[in-house]
Amino acid sequence: MIEVEGLTKRYGPTVAVSDVTFQVRKGEVLGFLGPNGAGKTTTMRVITGYLPPTAGTVRVAGFDVVEQPLEAKRRTGYLPELPPVYPDMTVDEYLAFAGRIKGVAGAELKKRMDAVSETCAVSDVRRRQIGKLSKGYRQRVGLAQALIHNPDVLVLDEPTAGLDPKQIIETRQLIKSLAGQHTVILSTHILPEVSKTCERVVVINGGKIAAVGTPEELTRRLQGFETVLVTVEGPEKEVKEKIERIEGVNLVERHEASDGRVTFEVHAAKDKDVRAEVARAVVESQWKLFELKTSGLSLEEIFLKLTTKDLGEEPAAT
Ligand X SMILES: Nc1ncnc2c1ncn2[C@@H]1O[C@H](COP(=O)(O)OP(=O)(O)OP(=O)(O)O)[C@@H](O)[C@H]1O
Exposure letters 245-272 (e unless 16+ CB within 10 A, then b): ebeebeebeeeeeeeeebbbebbbeeee
Question: Which residue among 38, 58, 203, 210 contacts ligand X (CB under 6 A)?
Answer: 38
| Partner that binds at residue 219, options ligand X, Mg ion, none, CB closer than 5 to 8 Å by kind | none
Which region, judged by CB under 5 A, interacts with Mg ion, from 35-43, 202-210, 251-259, 303-311? 35-43
| Partner that binds at residue 16, options Mg ion, ligand X, none, CB closer than 5 to 8 Å by kind | ligand X
Q: For residue 93, give the DSSP letter.
A: H
All residues at 6 or more sequence positions from 66 whose CB lies less than 8 Å from its CB, including other chains: 49, 52, 53, 57, 58
Contact flag: residue 36 with ligand X (CB under 6 A): yes
The strand pair at 200-205 and 208-213 is best described as antiparallel
| Partner that binds at residue 18, options ligand X, Mg ion, none, CB closer than 5 to 8 Å by kind | none
Q: For residue 313, give the DSSP letter.
A: -
Binding string, 179-218, against ligand X, x = CB under 6 A? ----------x-----------------------------
Q: Please, what is the minimum distance in Å from the beta carbon of residue 312 to ligand X?
A: 18
| Residue nearest Mg ion, CB atom distance | 41
Nearest Cα to Cα of residue 25 among 210, 184, 201, 216: 184
Task: Report d(CA 196, CA 76) in Å as an integer.
Answer: 23
Q: Please, what is the minimum distance in Å from the beta carbon of residue 200 to ligand X?
A: 18
Task: Report d(CA 316, CA 318) in Å as an integer.
Answer: 6
Contact flag: residue 43 with Mg ion (CB under 5 A): no
> Angle formed by the axes of helices 106-119 and 91-101, to 10°?
120
CB 151 within 8 A of CB 182: yes
Contact flag: residue 39 with ligand X (CB under 6 A): yes
Which region, judged by CB under 6 A, interacts with ligand X, from 30-38, 56-64, 94-102, 147-155? 30-38
Nearer to ligand X, 18 or 231 (CB): 18
Nearer to ligand X, 36 or 258 (CB): 36
Contact flag: residue 134 with ligand X (CB under 6 A): no
Contact flag: residue 14 with ligand X (CB under 6 A): yes
For residue 82, list its beta bridge partners. none
Contact flag: residue 318 with ligand X (CB under 6 A): no
Please give the residue ranges that form the binding site for ligand X (CB under 6 A): 11, 14, 16, 34, 36-42, 189
